[in-house]
Amino acid sequence: MLYDKIAIITGGASGIGKATAAEFLTEGAEVVIADLDEDQGETVAEELDCKFVRTDVAEYEQVEELVESTVEKHGRLDIMVNNAGIGSETSIQEMDLEEWHQVIQVDLDSVMHGMKAALPHLDESDGCIVNTASIYGLVGGKGAASYSAAKGGVVNLTQQVAIDYADEGVRVNSVCPGFVDTPMTEDLLETERFYTFLETHTPMDRPAQPEEISSMITFLASEKASYMTGANVPVDGGWTAH
Ligand code: NAD
- pLDDT, residue 143, reads 82
Distance, CA 219 to ligand 1 centroid (Å)? 20
Give the number of the atom of ligand 1 that is nearest the alpha carbon of residue 17.
26
- pLDDT, residue 195, reads 84
Q: What is the mean pLDDT of residues 123-152?
A: 95
Q: What is the mean pLDDT of residues 166-195?
A: 94
Judge whether residue 197 has pLDDT over 90. no
CA pair distance 203, 234, nearest whole angstrom: 14
- pLDDT, residue 153, reads 98
Give the model confidence (pLDDT) of 21-32 as tens digits: 999 999 999 999
Of 40-44, 93-97, 117-121, give the lowest mean pLDDT range.
Answer: 93-97
CA pair distance 151, 144, nearest whole angstrom: 10
Q: What is the mean pLDDT of the chain?
A: 97
**Which residue's CA lies nearest to atom 10 of ligand 1?**
11
Percent of the chain with pLDDT over 90: 93
Site to probe by mutation for ligand 1, drawn from 39, 65, 180 as the one with most ligand atoms within 8 Å of Cβ, is: 180
Instruction: Spell out the residues 6+ positions from residue 104 whose beta carbon is closer than 8 angstroms to its own.
Output: 146, 149, 150, 153
Among residues 57, 162, 73, the alpha carbon closest in space to that of 119 is found at: 162
Q: What is the mean pLDDT of residues 74-96?
A: 95
CA pair distance 154, 111, nearest whole angstrom: 7
232 — pLDDT class (breaks 50, 70, 90): very high
228 — pLDDT class (breaks 50, 70, 90): very high
The question of whether 136 is a catalytic residue gets the answer no
- The string of DSSP letters for the chain reads --TT-EEEEETTTSHHHHHHHHHHHHTT-EEEEEES-HHHHHHHHHHHT-EEEE--TTSHHHHHHHHHHHHHHHS---EEEE---------TTT--HHHHHHHHIIIIIHHHHHHHHHHHHHHHHT-EEEEE--GGGTS--TT-HHHHHHHHHHHHHHHHHHHHHGGGT-EEEEEEE--B-STTTHHHHTSHHHHHHHHHH-TT-SPBPHHHHHHHHHHHHSGGGTT--S-EEEESTTGGG-
- pLDDT, residue 193, reads 86
- pLDDT, residue 14, reads 98
- Judge contact between 151 and 180, C-beta under 8 A: no
Q: Which of 60, 136, 147, 227 is catalytic?
A: 147
Q: What ipTM does the predicted assembly reach?
A: 0.99
Site to probe by mutation for ligand 1, drawn from 182, 186, 206, 214 as the one with most ligand atoms within 8 Å of Cβ, is: 182
146 — pLDDT class (breaks 50, 70, 90): very high
Distance, CA 15 to ligand 1 centroid (Å)? 7
- pLDDT, residue 194, reads 85
Instruction: Supply the pTM of this predicted model.
Output: 0.98
